[in-house]
């Protein structure tokens, strides 16, 4: 029997909230530790770099960049190679190209003592692993946000995999597990071969915003009131943001 829209909404809502609840209950320790690392960087007026190499995983870096309620010290690496705006099939090909992630990290001049957050739904693609390994070589602290389940369940010879066959959670300094199930889509409909209702964007957005809020709280505990973006469409938004624009113009590449 085909589900009607209301039933589909309930099933999808239930799946999404169950996943977010798992992240909240099982990843509290990792998020708290990560927030402390971010707070340490920002307390020193250092930037926090976020890169989401892979089609829709790029959305995670955009989610916390130049965003109402977001930290101004966050700088997103918005490389055109894997953005869907440059072509979906091209994006997938680029994320599977050995050496590409290295180029991105080198081009963004990440160096010793920088902090990089890598966000990816599945945690296996070649550009992602190259970015992580290159950043580590250059002395960066690297945090990973991805699904351990999805990575561990993906065959070693999958064409998206890095030549080393490693997973993101194997190579980073600290990992936050988003629990995204294998295949991402979570809703089955009778008479339809493929599942529908992708869930990784919810998982990434929730995790990243939770991490940003926890970082703000950690800074407040240190007596620091960090620069936070206010929506430019809210009353007084432009005036509030303008107090800090000069401080970050030129430092934040995509500003």
Q: What DSSP letter does each residue of the chain carry, written as one string?
A: -PPPHHHHHHHHHHHHHHHHHHHHHHSHHHHHHHHHHHHHHHHTT--EEEE--SGGGHHHHHHTSS-TT-BTTEEEE--GGG-GGG-HHHHHHHHTSTTHHHHHHHHTT--TT-EEEEE-SSS-BHHHHHHHHHHHHTT-EEEEEE-HHHHHHS-TT-TTB-TT---HHHHSSEEEE--PPTTSEEE--TT-SS-EEE-HHHHHHHHHHHHHHHHHHHHHHTT----B---TTSTTHHHHHHTTHHHHBTTBTT-
- CATH topology for 28-248 is Rossmann fold (3.40.50)
**Residue 173 pLDDT greater than 90, yes or no:** yes
pLDDT at 161: 92
Mean pLDDT of the chain: 95
Lookup result for tokens 């950690």: 218
Answer whether residue 2 shows pLDDT above 70.
no
pLDDT of residue 54: 85
Percentage of the chain exceeding pLDDT 70: 99
**pLDDT band (50, 70, 90) for residue 170:** very high
Domain definitions of the chain by residue range: 28-248
- Provide the pLDDT confidence category of residue 3 given band limits of 50, 70 and 90: confident
Phi then psi for residue 116, to 5 deg, are -125, 130
How confident is the model over 101-148, as pLDDT tens digits? 999 999 999 999 999 999 999 999 999 999 999 999 999 999 999 999
pTM check: above 0.75: yes
Lowest mean pLDDT among 33-37, 216-220, 223-227, 230-234: 230-234
Residues 6+ positions from 182 with CB-CB distance below 8 Å = 149, 150, 153, 154
Q: What is the pLDDT of residues 198-207, one digit of tens each?
A: 999 999 999 9
pLDDT in tens, 20-71: 999 999 999 999 999 999 999 999 999 999 999 988 998 999 999 999 999 9
Query: Band of the pLDDT at 238, cuts 50, 70, 90?
Result: very high
């Amino acid at each position: 029997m085909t589900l009607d829209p209301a039933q589909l909404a309930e099933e999808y809502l239930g799946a999404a909230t169950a996943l977010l609840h798992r992240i909240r209950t099982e990843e509290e320790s990792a998020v708290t530790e990560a927030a402390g690392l971010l707070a340490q960087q920002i307390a020193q007026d250092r930037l926090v770099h976020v890169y989401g190499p892979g089609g829709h995983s790029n959305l995670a870096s955009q989610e916390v960049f130049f965003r109402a309620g977001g930290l101004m010290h966050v700088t997103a690496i918005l490389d055109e190679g894997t953005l869907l705006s440059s072509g979906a099939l091209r994006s997938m090909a680029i994320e599977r190209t050995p050496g590409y992630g290295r180029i991105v990290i080198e081009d963004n001049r990440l160096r010793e003592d920088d902090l990089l957050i890598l966000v990816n739904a599945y945690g296996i693609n070649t550009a992602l692993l190259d970015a992580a390994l290159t950043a580590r070589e250059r002395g960066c602290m690297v945090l990973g946000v991805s699904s351990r389940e999805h990575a561990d369940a993906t065959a070693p010879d999958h064409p998206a995999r890095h030549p080393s066959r490693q997973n993101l959670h194997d190579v980073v300094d600290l990992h936050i597990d988003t629990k995204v199930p294998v295949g991402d889509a979570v809703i089955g409909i009778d008479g339809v071969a493929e599942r529908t209702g992708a869930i990784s964007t919810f998982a990434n957005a929730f995790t990243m915003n939770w991490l940003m809020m926890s970082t703000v709280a950690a800074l407040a505990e240190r007596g620091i009131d960090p620069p936070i973006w206010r929506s430019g469409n809210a009353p007084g938004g432009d005036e509030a943001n303008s107090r800090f624009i000069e401080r970050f113009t030129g430092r934040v590449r995509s500003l």
